[in-house]
Structure 1
């Protein structure tokens, strides 16, 4: 069925000449205790390499840097170190098991942030405290409210744009032009559980994203966000019959604990394969799979399913710090 009608597009003009780092000045000038950045690996299209002019770097969890024509964006910034904990739902915390590939104060200038949802494993307290308040952030209305209103912030963010599902932001950033459209995503399946969650506000609403980099033809990147498989995702291939790259959030996040998985809020290996078969991206890069002890479905499960499905030439695996160079 066709995707629902969307709200009018939002138009944003971003300054790519701004040399400032994404953190506040006082944190950019201090040395953050963090591991030495992992060595980088550079990968290209598994079957059709050549002409690469854009770059994706996997930092860890769901944090990536995407660079093209002088524009650099960052997804879901999470820069806690191994053994740090995040709050997931009331009474439940999760421990980080890995380190990011670089510390927050070593991140180069970022021109905007894509935030799928307001959850500590996607926007941790360190990030929330140290980011510059004027850095542009694109997210959903729930996150915007928490980031910009004095009810929640004594030092609110000032450049947050909220997109409703299927709403688009038309972005001009120096020599780069792109559209970003909010994609459907949910942590909780529609029905009784979702009604209860909406009343109790246990899990926040979440978004996926479709990026269309304005090349000839446009290059599409589908960022799934932390979502389960549910009916509305079927609208995506109807609206976007060709997708060049999918960043697939996996992990099978299980609450309250992987040993007592009463609720799974992100895709496991089986559902990741199902989404690949439904959306049919040219290349898939799995992320968000082993960084927290709430993740029940490891990358090895997905790799096994990929081999069984004969999809090895459609998947690129990146370690933290690894990079994928592609042609727009």
Structure 2
């Protein structure tokens, strides 16, 4: 039987990825609508929508990918639910803080990778560059990483997936395609998050620019309507992509599972 690949949208940036023998979770946030999370410097935001499922509803996980240590990506509910022995792959900065809380965190510098093998399958996670804020403001925010997930079966590539993390669009992100090759699918973090008038995550226009830059076969928008700080709705992104005649963009409903098995370029 040919192994399957799928993505299930739980809410915000929380995605369950089932890639053959491996099951991953991204940016775990399981707080209910109405719960508040801390974004640093005394700033809080309130969740507007419930996640599609609780951590207890998930199958056994192999690892967690954490793009950065902000409350809307790793909230109190997730901290209570995750077993401390579950591997977390994240930034070097977040690794230090998570290990102080006794989590099994590994920090990857940009362009470094970690691999796992099982049943003739290989999973590789490579840390990719990102920029969470404009100019000097970025230095005040947690380090953020994108992730390239590559899945191979018997030496044959089945999927190359780019998860943007909470980056802004910047031309230097073109290096991702130059170094990593063609991208099968992209999970793009949007929302146009604003604090004190500053844009901290891609809005619809920036998201469309990155989609045109990376040119994946499939683009799945996430991270756009769960918290009060998000000011750019999904429609902004869809309209911008339509204006640029970008194809392969698909909205993913909360709780929906999409197959990723047939999109590899080989």
TM value normalised by structure 2: 0.92
Q: Is residue 229 from structure 1 mapped to residue 169 from structure 2 by the alignment?
A: yes
CA distance in 2, matches of 1:106, 1:192: 41
Moved more, 174-183 or 113-122: 174-183
The answer to whether the 8 A contact 2:3-2:19 is kept is no
Instruction: Please list the CA deviations of residues 263-287 of structure 1 after superposition, one character each: whole Å capped at 9, or x if unmatched.
Output: 1111010011100111111110000
Q: How many residues align?
A: 259
Max Rg structure:
1
Which structure 2 residues correspond to residues 26-175 of structure 1 after superposition, within 5 A?
53-149=4-100, 153=101, 156-157=102-103, 159-175=104-120
Which structure 2 residues correspond to residues 310-325 of structure 1 after superposition, within 5 A?
310-311=245-246, 313-325=247-259
Gapped regions of structure 2 (runs ≥ 5):
none
CA distance in 1, matches of 2:53, 2:130: 29
Gapped regions of structure 1 (runs ≥ 5):
1-50
CA distance in 1, matches of 2:126, 2:18: 18
Q: Is residue 267 from structure 1 mapped to residue 202 from structure 2 by the alignment?
A: yes
- 1:108 CA displacement: 1.7
Q: Is residue 242 from structure 1 mapped to residue 187 from structure 2 by the alignment?
A: no
TM value normalised by structure 1: 0.76
Match of 2:152 in 1: 214
Tell me the secondary structure at the aligned position of residue 193 of structure 1: helix
CA distance in 2, matches of 1:164, 1:67: 25
Q: 1 or 2 for the larger relative contact order (CA 8 Å, sep ≥6)?
A: 1
The answer to whether the 8 A contact 2:90-2:106 is kept is yes
- 1:217 CA displacement: 3.3
- 1:304 CA displacement: 1.4
Which of 128, 132, 135 lines up with 1:183 in the alignment?
128
Tell me the secondary structure at the aligned position of residue 300 of structure 1: helix
Instruction: Please list the CA deviations of residues 75-116 of structure 1 after superposition, one character each: whole Å capped at 9, or x if unmatched.
Output: 000101111111112121111110100112222211100000
- 1:323 CA displacement: 1.0
CA distance in 1, matches of 2:237, 2:251: 11
- 1:52 CA displacement: 8.1
Tell me the secondary structure at the aligned position of residue 213 of structure 1: strand
> Moved runs in structure 1, 4+ residues, more than 4 A?
none
The answer to whether the 8 A contact 1:283-1:316 is kept is yes
CA distance in 2, matches of 1:192, 1:143: 20
- 1:218 CA displacement: 4.3
Which of 232, 240, 243 lines up with 1:308 in the alignment?
243
Moved more, 292-301 or 217-226: 217-226
